[in-house]
Chains A and B, each alone.
Chain A
Amino acid sequence: MTATTPARAPLADAVASLRVTGKQVQADGVLTLELAAPSGNRLRDWTPGSHIDLILPNGLTRQYSLCGNRWDATTYRVGVLLEPGSRGGSAYVHEQLQVGDLVGVGGPRNNFPLVPSEQYLFVAGGIGITPILPMVHQAELLGADWRLLYGGRRRSSMAFLDELAAYGDRVLVRPEDEYGLLDLPGFLGAPRDGVRVYSCGPAPLLAAMERTCAYWPPHSLRVERFVADDAGAPARIAPFEVELARTGTTVTVTPDVTVLEALNRVGIEVLSSCRRGVCGTCETTVLAGRPDHRDALLDDDERQADDCMYVCVSRSRDERLVLDL
C-alpha cells in the first residue's frame, strides 16, 4: 500500500461563488445568465420551482428562479428581467455583469415545489415564466396531463417561446397586445378535484388567480410572488467576528473561508457532512447577530427567526455573530 496524505474533504467550492459562463438576450428586457463553479464541479441539486440568491458584486442580494435543466449538474440558468426603476439588482445584471465575473450564490431553496398530481394547469405572466419552465418539462416527463397559459405585454417581450414551442398546443401563448387580458376562467374551467394549479407573475395576475380559484378545493392553487423580503441588511463582503459563547473565544471570518473552516482552524470541531448546506448536520444555534443564510434548508419563516445557521455555508449580515459553541 502506498502512503498517501489523506486530504480533508474538499470544501464546497461550488457554494460560495459561481462564475458567469453565459449571458444571452432572450427577449426584450430579459436575459439569461449561466452560472458554473470555477472548478467545474457539481452544483447543489435543485427541484423545479427553486430559486437562488444572487449576491452581486455591488453587495445587493436578489432572488432568481432556476430555469435550466436539473439533469445538467454543473450549470445553473436564471432569467432576469430589467426592472424599470431598479435600485441596482436587475440593472446591475443587465448592464454591468460580464461573462467571467464571480457572483455569490445562496440556496437553491424551493417555496414553490411541484407536488405530485396527474393534472396540472400552469399560468405564467411575463418573467413569471422562469420557475414554470422546468415545471412543464417535469410534468411532461411524468406523463401528466398539463397545459400552460402564458401571458405578456408583447410577443417580443416574452422569453423562452422557442423552447416552449416543442410542447405544441399544450402551451397557449397570449400576448396582451394581440389577445387582451388573460382569460383565466376560460382556461381553468370549473372548480374540480385532482388538478394542481401553479401560477407566477405580476401581483395583479396572482390576485386574479386567487379570485378565480376561490371556489376550488383547498390547496389546489400554488403561487410564487417575485417580491423579495427586503428586511435583511445586505450580505457582508467584509470580514466579521464570530463569538463562541461557551468556549469564550472570538474568531474572525475573512471572505475567503467559511465559518466552519474558521472554527476548525481554532480547534472548534463542529460536525458536518455535506458541506453544502443541504443535509442539516452542522446546524448551530445563533444567540445574537443576523446570519446571512445561504443554505437550502430553512424556509422563509425559519430564516426570519435567525435562531440557527448552517455554518458550512452561511455567513453574517452583522459585524458580529454569537454562536452557542
Chain B
Amino acid sequence: MTTTVPPGTAASATGVPHSDVDPFAHDVLEDPLPMHAALREAGPVVHLDRYDVFALARYDDVHAALVDWQGFQSSAGVGLSNFRYEEPWRPPSLLLEADPPRHDAPRRVLQKVLGPRALRRLREGWAADAELLVDEVLSRATAFDAVAELSTAFPLRVFPDAVGIPKGGRERLLPYGNHAFNAFGPDNDLVAKGTPRVAELSGWVNAQCQRDVLSPAGFGADIWAASDRGDITPEQAPLVVRSLLTAGVDTTVHAISAILYAFATHPDQWQRLREDPSLARVAFDEAVRWESPVQTFFRTATTDVRVHDVLIPEGSKILMFLAAANRDPRRWADPDRYDLSRDPSGHVGFGMGIHQCVGQHVARLEAESILTALARRVATIELDGPPVRHHNNTLRAWESLPVRLTLG
C-alpha cells in the first residue's frame, strides 16, 4: 500500500512513542480493543509508522482535537488520504470534508432540517412503524438474525422515506455507505472489494439527490427549499442531500446492532430498560459510547500543532480513535461495562465541536422508537449463536447477530 508522504513529516516523529500496528488489518478490525488500550497506554500521541500518521487515543486529547477546527482541519479529508496531495474518490462532502467558512452555510441548513424540533413531526409515525415491524418479526419467529430483521430493517423502513427518495433501488444505500466508510481508511482489500461498484452506486445515489426525484415533503425537499431562500446555493443542495444518504444509513444500522448486542450480553440491563422505558435514550447513547459504531476519523494539522510534548508538523494526518476515547479509564469508570446507570453524556461517538454528528437526533429517535417497541413485548434477549462481525475501515460493524427472544 502506498500513500504520498508529505515532505518533512516522517523524520520529525523521533522521540514520539511509535507503533507499527495496522489499525485497518483484519485481526484488529475483528477486535480493536487490545490495540486501543495499547495506544492509550503508549502515550498521548503515538506515531503509526506504517501510515506516517499521529494517533490520539485518550479521551481528553481526542476531545481537544475534535473541537479545535482551527488547528485540526477537515477539508484535507477526514480519512487517511490527504486531499492536499491526493484526488478524493468523489467530490468532497460540503459538511464532513469542509472547514469554516465554507462549512457554515450547509451546516446551518442541515442543523435546522435535522434538529430536535424538526423531528417532532416524525416521532409518532416512527413509533408506530417500530411497533409494526416488531409485531411482524415476532409473529414470524422468536429466534432470528437481529442484523437483518431489526437493525437493517428499521432504518431502511423509516429513513429513506424521511429523506424522500423513491422506493426503487434502496438496496444500494448500504453498499454505498459501506464503501464510503471504507474509503476513509487505506487503499486496502476492503476498498478494492468495493471499487468495482463505485460508479454504479455513486450514479444512483447522486440521482436520488435531485429535486425532481425527491418527494415534496422530507429532509431532501427541506434542503432544496433552503436553496430557494438562498441559504445555500442550488449547486450545493444535491451534495447536502448526499451527506444524509452517505452518513445516515450504515451508521444507524450498526448502532442499533450494537445496542441489541449490548442487551443480549447484559440481560440485567434489559430488565432495567423494561422497568423504566424512559431509559431508552440513555441506553442508546451508552451503546454508542461502548461500541462506537464510528471508530475513527482523521484530521490534518493546519500548522505545527503541539499536543502535550509532541510537535505534530503542519500537513500531518492525525488519526482520532473515538472508540478508544470512549473507553478511556481516565474519563470513564469501569469503561468496558455497558451500564445504564452511567451517564454517557460527553462521549465522542458522535464527535464533538462544529462537525459533531448533525444526524444524532435522527439516530436517537430511530433507536428510541425501536427499543421502546421491543421493550413492550420482549421479556429477554439472548445470543443464539456466535455473532459475526463485518469488517469496515471506519465502522464497528456487524454481519449477523443471532438472537433468541422470549415474549412477555
The answer to whether B350 has its CB under 8 Å from any CB of chain A is: yes
Contact of A114 among B104, B229, B353 (CB under 8 A): B104
The answer to whether B101 has its CB under 8 Å from any CB of chain A is: yes
**A71 in contact with B115 given A1-B329, A6-B331, A116-B105 (CB within 8 Å):** no
Please determine whether A6 and B333 come into contact, CB atoms closer than 8 angstroms.
Answer: yes
| Chain B residues in 8 Å Cβ range of A275 | 345-346
- What 1/0 flags go to A283-297 for Cβ under 8 Å of B? 100000000000001
Give the complex CA separation of A229 and B281 in angstroms: 35
Give the complex CA separation of A73 and B66 in angstroms: 13
**A42 in contact with B67 given A116-B232, A142-B102 (CB within 8 Å):** yes
| Chain A residues in 8 Å Cβ range of B100 | 45, 47, 70
The answer to whether A308 has its CB under 8 Å from any CB of chain B is: yes
Q: How far is the CB of A215 from chain B (nearest CB, A)?
A: 17
The answer to whether A4 has its CB under 8 Å from any CB of chain B is: yes
Please determine whether A45 and B353 come into contact, CB atoms closer than 8 angstroms.
Answer: yes
- What 1/0 flags go to B328-342 for Cβ under 8 Å of A? 011111000000000
Q: Which of A290-325 contact B (CB under 8 A)?
A: 297, 302, 308
* Residue picked from B68, B115, B117, B331, most chain A C-beta under 10 Å: B117
| Chain A residues in 8 Å Cβ range of B282 | 269, 271
The answer to whether A280 has its CB under 8 Å from any CB of chain B is: yes
Least CB separation from B347: chain A residue: A273
The answer to whether B136 has its CB under 8 Å from any CB of chain A is: no
The answer to whether A231 has its CB under 8 Å from any CB of chain B is: no
**A279 in contact with B360 given A6-B330, A113-B108 (CB within 8 Å):** yes
Least CB separation from A260: chain B residue: B345
The answer to whether A281 has its CB under 8 Å from any CB of chain B is: yes
Q: Which of B304-334 contact A (CB under 8 A)?
A: 329-333
Please determine whether A271 and B281 come into contact, CB atoms closer than 8 angstroms.
Answer: yes
Q: How far is the CB of A188 from chain B (nearest CB, A)?
A: 17
Q: Which of B337-395 contact A (CB under 8 A)?
A: 343-347, 350, 352-354, 356, 360-361
Please determine whether A302 and B117 come into contact, CB atoms closer than 8 angstroms.
Answer: yes
The answer to whether A138 has its CB under 8 Å from any CB of chain B is: yes
**A73 in contact with B231 given A6-B329, A273-B356 (CB within 8 Å):** no
Give the complex CA separation of A271 and B343 in angstroms: 7
Give the complex CA separation of A138 and B104 in angstroms: 11
Least CB separation from B328: chain A residue: A6
How many residues of chain B have a CB within 8 Å of chain A? 41
Q: How far is the CB of A81 from chain B (nearest CB, A)?
A: 27
| Chain B residues in 8 Å Cβ range of A114 | 101, 104-105
Please determine whether A269 and B343 come into contact, CB atoms closer than 8 angstroms.
Answer: yes
Q: How far is the CB of A267 from chain B (nearest CB, A)?
A: 10
Q: How far is the CB of A49 from chain B (nearest CB, A)?
A: 10
Q: How far is the CB of B129 from chain A (nearest CB, A)?
A: 22
Q: How far is the CB of B301 from chain A (nearest CB, A)?
A: 15
* Residue picked from B233, B345, B352, most chain A C-beta under 10 Å: B345
The answer to whether B8 has its CB under 8 Å from any CB of chain A is: no
Give the complex CA separation of A1 and B68 in angstroms: 28
Q: Which of B240-277 contact A (CB under 8 A)?
A: none
Q: How far is the CB of B370 from chain A (nearest CB, A)?
A: 17
Q: How far is the CB of A142 from chain B (nearest CB, A)?
A: 6
| Chain A residues in 8 Å Cβ range of B232 | 115-116
| Chain A residues in 8 Å Cβ range of B331 | 6-7, 9
Q: How far is the CB of B101 from chain A (nearest CB, A)?
A: 5
Give the complex CA separation of A6 and B232 in angstroms: 43
Q: Which of A19-45 contact B (CB under 8 A)?
A: 42, 45
Q: How far is the CB of A324 from chain B (nearest CB, A)?
A: 11
Least CB separation from B64: chain A residue: A42
Give the complex CA separation of A308 and B100 in angstroms: 29
The answer to whether B206 has its CB under 8 Å from any CB of chain A is: no
The answer to whether B116 has its CB under 8 Å from any CB of chain A is: yes
| Chain B residues in 8 Å Cβ range of A117 | 230, 233
Please determine whether A280 and B115 come into contact, CB atoms closer than 8 angstroms.
Answer: yes
Least CB separation from A299: chain B residue: B112
Least CB separation from A113: chain B residue: B108
Give the complex CA separation of A219 and B232 in angstroms: 12
| Chain B residues in 8 Å Cβ range of A110 | 108
Give the complex CA separation of A141 and B101 in angstroms: 8
| Chain B residues in 8 Å Cβ range of A8 | 343, 346
Q: How far is the CB of A9 from chain B (nearest CB, A)?
A: 3
Among all A-B residue pairs, the 5 with the closest Cβ atoms: A9-B346, A219-B230, A272-B345, A283-B116, A6-B333
16 contacts between A and B (CB under 8 A): A4-B330, A6-B331, A45-B353, A47-B108, A73-B68, A115-B231, A116-B102, A116-B236, A117-B230, A264-B343, A271-B344, A274-B356, A283-B117, A297-B115, A302-B117, A308-B116
Residues of A at under 8 Å CB distance from B? 1, 3-4, 6-9, 42, 45, 47-48, 70-71, 73, 110, 113-117, 138, 141-142, 196, 219-220, 264, 269, 271-275, 279-281, 283, 297, 302, 308
